[in-house]
Amino acid sequence: MNAPIRPLHAPAPAPNAAALRNAMTIDVEDYFQVSAFADHIARDSWPSRECRVEANIERILAILEEGGARGTFFTLGWIAERYPAMVKRIVAGGHELASHGYGHLRASDQTREQFLDDVARSKAILEDIGGTPVLGYRAPSFSIGPANLWALDVLQEAGYRYSSSIYPIAHDHYGMPDAPRFAFYPGGTDGLLEVPITTVRMMERNLPAGGGGYFRLLPYALSRRLMRRVNDKDGQPAIFYFHPWEIDPGQPRIGGVGAKTRFRHYVNLERMERRIRALTRDFQWDRMDRIFLERA
C-alpha cells in the first residue's frame, strides 16, 4: 500500500450505542520477549528462560470469568507451540484467539516476504491448536505505520479480516498520530479493517487511553474517566490492551537496561491485577470479532 490513509474514505459502521461493549485485548507474550529488552536478551536464550506466561494467563482467565468478561488474546506462535493446552483453555473460555505474529518481530523490521511468512505461520499454528479460525492480528509494538502500510495488504493476503496494529499517538518507539482514531478500512470496505488502540482527543492531540504502561502509570480514576469519555462523547467502543507479564510483579528483573526502559516496564506491576478487576466491574467487555466484525 503506497497511498496514505484517508481517514474519511471508509470508516467502519457506527456501533449500537444502547449496547456499547468495549474490547478487552491481551497480547500473549512473556516478559523476556518485550521489544524494549531485545538488545539485552538474545533470542536463542528464550528456550532456557523461566517462562511465566502460562500461570499469568490462568490468572487472567479467572479474572475475566469472575467479571463476566470475554476478550481477544493476540498470541505469539512461539508461545502457542510450547503451551498448546493454554491456547485451548483460552478458546474453551469463550475468548477469541488472534495472532501476535510468530516470534515477536516488529513488522517494521521485516521485508514483505518475511512478514507474510511470519503472519501466515502464526495463523496456521494457532488455528491448528485452537481449532478455530484466526481472523485478527496485532503487530508487536504497534509496528505498522506510514513506512510499511503494505503490511495491511499482506495481512489480507494471509487471510486476516482485521488488524489492531496502529496506535494513533506520538511515541518514541511507535505511533501514527495522523491515523484515524476509530475503526476504519484503509483500502476500502472490501478490505482489511484496522481497529486502532483507544485515544482521547484533547489539546489538539491524541492522548493514550487504551492500556499498557500508561494505564499502570496514571491513576485508575483518570483512565476510567478517559474511557468513559470515548464511550459517552464519541459513542465508540474502547480498545484496551495489556500483557500477561503486567500482572506479575514477581517476574525476574532484567539487568543492564536503561532507567527509562526499567521504569516503563516495572512501574506499578503490583497494582495491575487489582485495576483489571476494577475494569471488569466498571465496563462491559467483549471480543474484538464480536464487536467489530459482526457490524462490519
pLDDT at 1: 42
pLDDT of residue 190: 75
Which residues of the chain, if any, have pLDDT below 70? Answer: 1-11, 13-19, 171-175, 295-296
CATH fold for the domain made of 40-293: TIM Barrel (3.20.20)
* Per-residue pLDDT, 75: 98
**pLDDT 10s digits, 143-195:** 999 899 999 999 999 999 999 999 898 766 666 888 999 999 998 777 899 99
Q: Per residue in 197-229, pLDDT tens?
A: 999 998 788 988 999 888 999 999 999 999 999
- Distance, in Å, from the CA atom of 141 to the CA atom of 116, rounded to the nearest integer, reads 18
Whether 63 and 276 have beta carbons less than 8 Å apart is answered as: yes
Please tell me what DSSP assigns to residue 183.
-
Task: Give residue 253's region: left, alpha or beta (phi > 0; psi -120 to 50).
Answer: beta
Q: Where are the domains of the chain?
A: 40-293
Strand 22-28 and strand 72-75: the pairing is parallel
CA distance linking residue 4 with residue 187, whole number of Å: 10
CA 75 to chain centroid: 9
Minimal CA–CA distance to 107: which of 134, 83, 78, 138?
A: 138
| Residue 222 grid cell | 483518570
Apex CA 72: angle with CA 67 and CA 77, to 5°?
135
Per-residue pLDDT, 204 = 81
The shares of helix, strand and coil residues in the chain, as percent rounded to the nearest 5, are: 45, 15, 45
pTM for this model (two decimals): 0.93
Per-residue confidence (pLDDT) for residue 4, from 0 to 100: 47
Q: What distance lies between CA 82 and its chain's CA centroid?
A: 21
> Strand, coil or helix: what is 134?
coil
| Of the candidates 270, 273, 277, the residue with the CA atom closest to the CA atom of residue 249 | 270
Q: What pLDDT is recorded for position 235?
A: 94
